Chain A
Amino acid sequence: MTEIELLSWARGPGLQIATIIFVAGVVIRILEILLLGRKANLAEAKGAEMSSGLRTMVTRTVPDRTTFKRSSVTIVSGYIFHIGLFVVCFFSAPHILFLKDIIGFGWPSLPTPVVDAFAVVTIIALLATLVNRLTNKVMRYLTDFEDLLTWFVTFLPVVTGYIAFHRIGFTGPSLLAIHILSVELLLIVFPFTKLMHAFTLFIARWYNGAISGYRGVAS
């Protein structure tokens, strides 16, 4: 297979397969959760469920002071790479074009050197999270194969994207193909792992806020 053939496959059939698995997987998992349902609460309510749920969906993003002090490395490195991923994924010009092709509209991009800087910071932060995961007592106890796999499939696109942009190593079509394939790997692995938290955390947070809010506590 030539490089261009590989690139064309990655941009064509490869992406189709990854899209099918990703979309179908995410939809099935979310339905699997929601359709289990939960019993109605028969106790007398002290607060409103819906608004409390929505509130927690947002406020849970901010950790409380004591927890932050005790877990600052986890929290800071985690936030940095999430924000970095967000900027790199959604504000680099080639990525916006990709999304525009799928959803029909785009938005202004950030200058490439800025995105570049975010990519570097993200890579460093991701490495920090891995080190943390392997050295922190609690995380080491909790960590299993899935944690390492998901780290890897998240790390790979950022690194290969950076390399493809900076042309280190192989030739252009190969680098771009490798990057796109790494994204497809991420998409395929996504619905089978904790990466689903990207969607389900909103459901979980809502439930948390609703359950507490029913009792009059803002969680």
Chain B
Amino acid sequence: MSASIEKGINALKRQVDSTVAAFFSSCVHCGLCAEACLFYTETGDPKRTPINKTEPLRRIWKSEFTLMGRMGKMLGLTKKVDDKFLEEWQELVYDSCTLCGRCSMVCPVGNDIALMIRKTREGLAAAGQAPEGLIGATNRSVTIGSPMGVKWPALRAQIKHVEADTGLKIPVDVEDVEYMLLLSSMEIMNFPEFIEAVAKIFDKAGATWTISSEAFEATNSGIQIGVSDIAAELVQRVVDVADKLRVKTVISPECGHAYMAIRWDGPNLVGKAFNFKVRHILEVMDELSQQGRLKIASKESQKLTYHDPCQISRRGGVIDEPRRLIDMIADDFVEMPDAGKMNWCCGAGGGVSANERADEIRLKVFDRKKAQLEAVRPDAIISACSNCRIHLEDGLEEHNMDIPLLSLTETIAEHLAED
């Protein structure tokens, strides 16, 4: 119970660096970022303009790290950052943003606004202004090991089911293997078929792999709530285990922010480069395919389209790999408008789906994805993030749209050659 405005302000100060300074110096209030953000386009509320969400960080940068800001502070001309202000901004920073990064792609002066919103969360969280839902999820992540409270026994039970269904052995806590697979609680609880799919693929590819009983959780609540210290603690668990087992590559599963957390933020959070590689399951499958270790025997005949999960595609760099994989298993594939690095967010990532208060707006912004789907009219949607999957299913159901969501990994596994 020790969050305070002083801690919040200090946290914001720690987040200011040359990128933040360059970005705020360049913003010309053109408003283009709003037109790229589905939380603005689907609600029409200008306070949801992305750059506006960063106002707490901007005030600290201006008053603490610029000559004229410091002088203004001495003259009492600065805009304050107090509890009331941060409380007002909570809804903008957490409920109205998934850190999807589309704003960062369109800003004409080159601002990475999503990065700045992520940094802004550090201030709000330390000041006690993070949403209840996220605080709960983070508590569970740290104390239990999973934001949804999933413990090893639950996973082990799922593993047993998979072994029974496939006849394959799922290696647990095995040392010196090629791959260590992480899993998101969402997958464990809702999509255990994913584990089955991975098992089959690795079996056919002849890859050695394992799951760790000590640190299997891929979801990083620390990233979502915006507390680097907690995010680092969660990453360290994976690092410790990966080092202990001496794995070559840690695999991030079908979860968006998990990939960002371990692949791109991870080493920077713990302050050390990893001794192992980190790859998304899509990258792994793509690599296996290049090596000729992934053979496909059949294809989907239905009309497919692909929803790019933001943290994997635009913010993660895994854009071409899924398309090469889809190419292998699709006869009729059509891209939705703005597909690729400019695809629209589903609306649920970055902690929004863990925040009950944001349920209504989350459903509202689904309209954007709906418009994209209506332009394409697919028979099914492929994606590679379970959070996107759950939310898109919610949205489609709300609008009585009967379009199934398919996991790319699962679909690949379905069409593996029996050799």
Contacts and interface: CB of A to CB of B under 8 A. Distances in A.
Q: Do A and B bind each other?
A: yes
Interface of A: 28-29, 32-39, 41-44, 46-47, 56-57, 60-61, 63-64, 66-67, 70-71, 74-75, 78, 133, 136-144, 147, 192, 194, 196-197, 200-201, 203-209, 211-212, 214-219
A217 B314 CA distance: 7
Nearest to B271: A42
Contact of B111 (A46, A78, A136, A208): A208
B49 interface: yes
A34 B18 contact: yes
B66 A32 contact: yes
B46 A211 contact: no
Contacts of B277: 44
B63 to A, nearest CB: 13
B109 A147 contact: no
B273 A42 contact: yes
Contacts of A66: 337-338, 342
Given A38-B18, A63-B106, A43 B268 contact: yes
Given A197-B109, A205-B109, A137 B46 contact: yes
13 contacts: A36-B65, A39-B268, A42-B272, A43-B264, A138-B49, A141-B49, A141-B52, A197-B25, A203-B22, A204-B23, A204-B109, A215-B264, A217-B317
Interface string B75-113: 000000000000000000000000000001111111110
Contacts of B278: 43-44
Contact of B19 (A38, A57, A78, A214): A38
Contacts of B342: 64, 66
B36 interface: yes
A67 B31 contact: no
Contacts of A60: 107-110
Contacts of A206: 110
B341 interface: yes
A61 B65 CA distance: 29
A47 B317 CA distance: 9
Interface string B317-352: 111000000000000000001100110000000000
Contacts of B171: none
A215 B311 CA distance: 11
Interface residues of B, number: 63
Nearest to B264: A43
A139 B314 contact: no
B103 to A, nearest CB: 10
B209 interface: no
B301 interface: no
Contact of A29 (B25, B109, B263, B266): B25
A201 B27 CA distance: 8
A196 B28 CA distance: 9
A208 B52 contact: no
B35 interface: yes
A42 B29 contact: no
B205 interface: no
Contacts of B30: 71, 74, 78, 139
A200 B317 contact: no
A177 B24 CA distance: 35
A201 B111 CA distance: 8
A43 B18 contact: no
B26 A196 contact: yes
Chain A to chain B: the 8 pairs with minimum beta-carbon distance, closest first: A205-B110, A216-B317, A141-B46, A42-B267, A138-B31, A70-B35, A201-B109, A204-B110
Contacts of A133: 29
A35 B18 contact: yes
A207 B49 contact: no
A138 B40 contact: yes
B68 interface: yes
B52 A142 contact: yes
B115 interface: yes
Contact of B46 (A44, A57, A64, A142): A142
B47 A215 contact: no
B31 A71 contact: yes
Nearest to B113: A208
B358 to A, nearest CB: 21
Contact of B274 (A34, A44, A197): A44
Given A63-B32, A66-B342, A147-B29, A137 B110 contact: no
Nearest to A41: B268
A209 B104 CA distance: 10
A194 B66 CA distance: 13
B17 A39 contact: yes
Nearest to B269: A42
Contacts of B65: 32, 36
B316 interface: yes
Contacts of B66: 29, 32
A88 to B, nearest CB: 20
Nearest to A138: B31
Nearest to B49: A138
